[in-house]
Amino acid sequence: MVLDRIALILVVIGALNWGIIGLFGLDLVAFICGGQMAVISRVIYALVGLGGLWCVSLLFRERVPSEAAA
């Protein structure tokens, strides 16, 4: 599903950003977008958070075999 992939990409972006914060003390999203309180930074943070919430649903879904595998 396309939404699953988009959410996963957002979560990976968030994870990479947190990794950079942990290792180097640099918030890359804030650095690129003009600070943590810049509108674009807040939009990105919100989208990453929504992506994370969406990915929680992936944990509880039943896997349906694809028709190509059958």
- Which pLDDT tens digit goes with each residue over 11-51? 999 999 999 999 999 999 999 999 999 999 999 999 999 99
CA distance 5 to 26: 26
Instruction: Fill in the DSSP letter of residue 61.
Output: P
**At residue 8, does pLDDT exceed 80?**
yes
**At residue 67, does pLDDT exceed 70?**
no
Where are the chain's structural domains? 2-59
CA distance 26 to 41: 14
Read off the pTM.
0.80
Instruction: Fill in the DSSP letter of residue 41.
Output: H
